[in-house]
Structure 1
């Protein structure tokens, strides 16, 4: 059994908050223990991060794998991927160690890992049948919940679980024309890999057992701190996001696309006014929560506080923008449970200033190997989105929400189909300025200066916009939309079952028109690109509206290769 630092509870030695005094025989937190923890954190975070990145990279299968009965069978043709997934299992078999390798902290880490794995398994075992391949992929759907349960038995199950998860996620990388984000799963995946692989590393003496929970809190801190730092590193200046960014635009632009569509214009304007007046407080609170996440290792109740603050942050984001980071919020809740179990088991002594300083020192390494998403942008008053209008055989007009195109709903909700427009585009999803080019500097204020005048916005687009028009990409989108509209009726019961069991959508903007529920065969799909401007009063003006694509649903669907040849 590898040497481990003991944090045993002694009579009458508990300090307030569940932190216990260290064993007198243990190394001093100011000396050897701090160095030991720092080295352990570096080894665990570095190894887990590099392993996760390698596994994710090699699990990106080609499109043909998803047209087969099971992409997992195709994995056998990728020896590097098989080796990466099998190595932790072989290591576990050789050492015979399980969660017990983490000592008193094993139960807490195991509970957190199973919670996160269960949510991921739920989300990706119940996604809707992918109409691009017309395969149910039952083997992968069954493997995810089975392996999630297996994680309770042994940490080595994390490796095959993540491999299957990455294989399932890989289908959304096709067609390559689209941008499929993995932001919703980044935090739970990194935490899960740290828990499972960290436990196996502890079994061979790489890192102390008590380091793994602190490493998980360090990874949590790195993800949120990266978001906070991204807001401070905008081209407009370090304090610009805190002083000048208009958070209320996120709500107004989401409402323009259908979020909280039941709100009348006056009610939405009143709510926007409240959010506008509260922007300084909301911005400061957001930065405090994101940057304060790194403080979690200093004390158990500080950890519970910052984790709870992150959950509240996600609830606020969902309430105002329809963006549902429930996978992140569940991961935060799992860490709260882990912290409380650690305190209850008498392992709270691993928290402290030594753990905090070690975490802060290892933070740059976590930023590099985990590569957290830098969620920082300016919220502008201009919004660009796409409406999908369906015309039935009877001539009835319907609105197709992003959910209609599930499992590609996130792609359609983000609406980054700028290749359909000849007009240069200025901003991204919900009016966010995520650009890093020279012309994007100060773009939010330049949009404000137009006052919503259509001609002024057109001139600004010509001067500072990006040209993305691409007919080839438009052909790919046309094929995807047509396939979504002509899904075989024999699978309708299967789709209804999956919808009934499905996890929440990541972006649930809703819609404003008449909904379509397979009422009748569709004759035509009309895609409109809409630009809106949000006034300080909350009023929303349409400054540009054009038809960018018409699709005759009745036309035969050609294979991609045939279309390119034509």
Structure 2
């Protein structure tokens, strides 16, 4: 970029003019006519074709960047530094050196960059890059102390923090940061627990991988496809939007027909289920029942809003104001989800806020709001029908190859959950809150431990049913007898002795390590740690809640099945289904996450 040019990140998208391009200032006398608009659009078709080609090149490199990681991202998390142990364990693996080669190429090709705005043109995309780095650093360096592995990993946390700070100014360091964070995340994958938090990270990681691919493709695109000015920005934003588009499409496919979810899903059953799980920040049982009865007529408009926010993304780039409106809509969607269920998706929210702020037209003193049409010889705008068409085609081609989840189900009136209780010496029984197991808290919030139960169960997380015909039958079950018949007909036994043994090993190891290692460092990291994925926690009073007391004699796992009939909560089952003795010294061997 020429040194005598103003920085792209300091200019609104409509004002950016490329080097050697004639700038035509708009005025009333030469306002574009209908004919000139069509000529400009036709003239910009080559730019649209180049942009699509460039985005597909970025997508190919995105897949290339991701692929080798699965071959080497394994580390010994019981070591003081899992990153150093990773270097020793993977020194002879071709996949490891392939990833280093890609990261090195990225660093060389972008060594001259001193601003993210020079890579991601249009608006204030540097804000989005900074926000992404902030999320990666916060979740990768300040997560709670992991008692399962019994290490503070202070060296690794420091490396990630340093790489994050450097990456804010020098984009060339970004792949190194991403690799370190990915390896950090893999310690969440331990035997006995599902990595439920992974869904919360998918969009962040997808956006980061595409950003790496964009930097690697930069020399080729700049040399061979010079009119693809906004290809990197379009590809990166599309990587985030795909994680809303796929759930929107899934909602059209989950039912017996395309309108089944819209017309028949009882959305507010989610609030009833999360209330049973512990989400009671804004209401008690009586207040929740009154609120849901009052809001019931708004269920259909709210579901229409959800579908519009998710499916209209295919048109996001046709107009800047429309893009900002959809971005704000996604923030509102997450705010509503948090209010009604306690599920925060906080990192998704901050990225959507950054995207919204990046393209809001902030008022400038002495400047009007007038926009000129594309001029002959100029590249197409970031927000135009050409960009919208290119982004839509790209989304349709690549959406299913990203890491987006099919977040679509039917919310039932039946909740099946599990709770952990600590039985102390002397018989005192205390409820163990899910956040006691941070950073594995979300697995305990979801509490889908059906592998412990030797009988049929009907639902998944927070009362979700994923089979359309089962959901159809469930809508008619409003009594305890009807629900039991439904379970007998459609329920499934999911008991798994191997997973049960792994789960027992996790609990024994966790409580043994917690007793030995609790202190100042774990408390400090807990204070500095990121927000929880969900705040569906205990309803017990403090004197009946476990606070880390010792010794614990045994753990009891309670199964609870509750029916919400629209007017009240009916407890169908509530009993201890599994016991884990903690009397013997924990002899669970060291386990390495990440598939090892």
Alpha-carbon distance in 1 for matches of 2:362, 2:119: 11
Q: Does 1:409 align with 2:441?
A: yes
Equivalent residue number for residue 535 of structure 1:
565
Q: CA RMSD in A?
A: 3.1
Deviates more, 1:52-61 or 1:100-109: 100-109
Return the match for 1:66 from 68, 77, 82: 77
SS in 2 for 1:204: helix
Alpha-carbon distance in 1 for matches of 2:106, 2:198: 29
CA spacing shift, 1:396–1:40, aligned 2, 3 Å: same
Q: Does 1:510 align with 2:510?
A: no
Q: Does 1:431 align with 2:463?
A: yes
SS in 2 for 1:98: coil
Equivalent residue number for residue 404 of structure 2:
372
Q: Deviations over 1:23-47 (max 9, x none)?
A: 9999856521221121122122332
Offset at residue 393 of structure 1 (A) = 2.6
Q: Does 1:149 align with 2:169?
A: no
Alpha-carbon distance in 1 for matches of 2:155, 2:328: 36
Query: Residues 308 and 333 of structure 1 are in contact (CA less than 8 Å); yes or no, is this contact kept in structure 2?
Result: yes
Alpha-carbon distance in 2 for matches of 1:296, 1:99: 29
Equivalent residue number for residue 130 of structure 1:
146
CA spacing shift, 1:6–1:216, aligned 2, 3 Å: farther
Offset at residue 493 of structure 1 (A) = 1.4
| Structure of higher CA gyration radius | 2
Alpha-carbon distance in 1 for matches of 2:22, 2:362: 12
Offset at residue 123 of structure 1 (A) = 2.2
Offset at residue 308 of structure 1 (A) = 0.8
Deviates more, 1:51-60 or 1:219-228: 51-60
TM-score norm. by structure 1 comes to: 0.88
Query: Residues 247 and 379 of structure 1 are in contact (CA less than 8 Å); yes or no, is this contact kept in structure 2?
Result: yes
Alpha-carbon distance in 1 for matches of 2:167, 2:428: 51
Equivalent residue number for residue 213 of structure 1:
233
Offset at residue 279 of structure 1 (A) = 0.6
Query: Residues 106 and 216 of structure 2 are in contact (CA less than 8 Å); yes or no, is this contact kept in structure 1?
Result: yes
Return the match for 2:295 from 262, 275, 284: 275
Query: Residues 37 and 358 of structure 1 are in contact (CA less than 8 Å); yes or no, is this contact kept in structure 2?
Result: yes
Q: Deviations over 1:476-519 (max 9, x none)?
A: 21221223323135432111101111111002111122222224
Offset at residue 55 of structure 1 (A) = 4.9
Equivalent residue number for residue 26 of structure 2:
12
Alpha-carbon distance in 2 for matches of 1:410, 1:103: 36
Structure 2 gap segments, 5+ residues each: 3-16, 29-35, 372-378, 592-596
Alignment of 1:2-401 (within 5 A): 10-12=24-26, 28=42, 30-48=44-62, 50-61=63-74, 65-76=76-87, 77-78=89-90, 79=93, 80-93=95-108, 96-98=111-113, 102=118, 105=121, 108-175=124-191, 178-205=194-221, 208-260=228-280, 263-340=283-360, 349-401=381-433
Query: Residues 314 and 329 of structure 1 are in contact (CA less than 8 Å); yes or no, is this contact kept in structure 2?
Result: yes
Aligned length: 545
Q: Deviations over 1:438-473 (max 9, x none)?
A: xx33222322323232x4433332322222112222
Query: Residues 451 and 499 of structure 2 are in contact (CA less than 8 Å); yes or no, is this contact kept in structure 1?
Result: yes
Q: Deviations over 1:525-562 (max 9, x none)?
A: 1111111111122x111112231111222222122599
CA spacing shift, 1:54–1:540, aligned 2, 3 Å: same
CA spacing shift, 1:509–1:469, aligned 2, 3 Å: same
Offset at residue 271 of structure 1 (A) = 1.6
Structure 1 gap segments, 5+ residues each: 15-21, 435-439
Query: Residues 114 and 148 of structure 1 are in contact (CA less than 8 Å); yes or no, is this contact kept in structure 2?
Result: no
Q: Deviations over 1:248-291 (max 9, x none)?
A: 00000000111016732211111221332211111010111111
